[in-house]
Amino acid sequence: MQLWVYVLRRVLLLIPVVIGVSTVTFVLVSALPITDRLVADFGSPNPRNPWIYSPTAPCPPPNAAQQCYNPTYYRFLNMSGLNAPIPEQWVRYMGQIFTFHWGTVSNDSTVATLFPETGGVPVTTVLGWFLPYTLELVALAMVILLAIALPLGRLAAARRNQVADHATRALSFTGFAVPTYLLGSILITLTVIGIGSATGYFGISPWCPSGETTWNEILGSWPSSLCFAHDQYPSWIAGGVISHPTGFPTLDAFLNGAPWLGLDSFFRLLLPALVIAFAHLGLILRYVRNSTLEVMNLDYVRTARASGVRERTVVRRHVGKNSLTMTVTVLAVSFATFFGWLPVAETLFQLNGVGLMIALSAEAPIDFAVLTGATLLLIFMVVIANVVADILVAYLDPRVRLGDTMAV
């Protein structure tokens, strides 16, 4: 089977996978207390006081035991389809997903309170604003993870049962044991203490001569407005949150002729990227080591050694590529947990990403549109990442696509 045929089949398989995952999300969302949010927004559906609303149905006197009719509540209920049968709600839900009609950000939600420019804006638009922050963070975390796990895992395999192997094993166990939020809190505290002891309460940096608090040196996606002329963010940073033209803060800083701000953005991503990478380091290290050991015991590797090829060359040229197949597969599986830790990391470091949107939308009053939309977005990204991993595995190991049956 040619590679492009394999890729096409894997892409087509995305359709049932997305439908299945979206259905699971629909079931979970349906279990949420949506009626409580409707009551908070529009009041009780049947209030006892007829003077609160303008009822469209006859209403008894205020002192009567009967209840009145709240037209605003039921109007929204009819428009949203929440009073329809479950199968009909599912069909409408799937239609809204594939047409990207994911609702709007509630004006009284925590998201709109902290980011006023998002109130009443479609969820897809808001997620488009905040997604680049998350992509930069995930990309940097992946680079850090691979830069540490690949060489250390191969070193542990080449030095099996030696000091390097035992040290790598201890590091992997530490990655499993230390909670992400705890590691993030420790890094923040140590960094703030280090900056504060060197510069005082206000950290004076070359790119912020007026100074900002040591907390603001490492927390948030952008430095304080004090670091800019007239204490205002430039026009290409809308509301101090959204950057232009690409939406990627580090890239936009360089495109707008502010390399100091690009470096600042990079350093603000470094600590949370380290936290996320360290949470997965133990798993990837073990798989790199084990897959490298498995390949090193194959016949062609033993033949290369018998021919007098140096061990370093054997590991780098003969073992490296063939040992990556299992590692790529595990990376794709662990990619879901990458996004699972985003709400913790982005909230802890106050980064304007999709993970922060999930954390804020879950606060009372719950914004179901943002919560559902952000969850769906991360799910789609995980599904796509797994397809990309399948393609990489097929490229690294032609047996996957050239065999009699396709691996699924």
For range 383-408, the mean pLDDT = 65
| Distance from the first to the final alpha carbon of the chain | 14
What is the CA angle 171-281-275, rounded to 5?
Answer: 100
Distance, in Å, from the CA atom of 267 to the CA atom of 103, rounded to the nearest integer, reads: 35
Closest Cα to residue 392, out of 370, 378, 371, 407?
407
Task: Kindly tell me if the per-residue pLDDT of 56 is higher than 70.
Answer: no
Does the structure show a pLDDT above 50 at 39?
yes
Residue pLDDT, tens place only, 294-337: 777 777 777 777 777 776 677 666 676 667 777 777 777 777 67
Query: Which of 30-34, 122-126, 298-302 ranks highest by mean pLDDT?
Result: 122-126
Q: Is the pLDDT of residue 405 over 50?
A: no
- For residues 100 and 98, give the distance between their C-alpha atoms in angstroms, rounded to a whole number: 5
Give the C-alpha separation, 102 to 370, whole Å: 8
pTM of the model: 0.79
Looking at CATH, the fold of the domain delimited by 125-402 is given as: MetI-like fold (1.10.3720)
How would residue 367 be classed by pLDDT, with cut points 50, 70 and 90?
Answer: confident
Q: Read out DSSP for 201-227?
A: SEEEETTEEEEEEHHHHHSSSS--GGG
Which phi and psi angles does 242 have, rounded to 5°? -100, 125
Rounded CA-CA distance 261/94 in Å is 41
pLDDT, tens digit, 9 for 90 and up, residues 232-282: 888 898 877 888 888 899 999 999 988 888 888 898 899 999 998 888 888
Residue range 62-80, pLDDT digits in tens:
555 556 667 777 777 776 6
Query: Are 149 and 281 spatial neighbours (Cβ–Cβ below 8 Å)?
Result: yes
163 versus 69: the higher-pLDDT residue is 163
Confidence of residue 122 (pLDDT cuts 50, 70, 90): very high
CA separation, residue 320 to residues 43, 192, 314 (Å): 63, 40, 9
Mean pLDDT, residues 371-375 taken together: 85
Q: Please, which residues have CB within 8 angstroms of residue 53's CB and are 6 or more apart in sequence?
A: 43, 47, 68, 69, 70, 71, 72
pLDDT at residue number 212 = 66
| Element holding 237 (H helix, E strand) | strand 237-238
Residue span(s) of the chain under CATH 1.10.3720.10 come to 125-402
Q: Report how far residue 376's alpha carbon sits from residue 29's, in angstroms, rounded to the nearest whole number.
A: 11
Tokens 């594939």 correspond to what residue?
Answer: 98
DSSP for 110-157? HHHHH-GGGTTSBHHHHHHHHHHHHHHHHHHHHHHHHHHHHHHHHHHH
Please give the pLDDT value at position 136: 92
Q: Which of 203, 195, 38, 20 is nearest to 106 (CA)?
A: 38
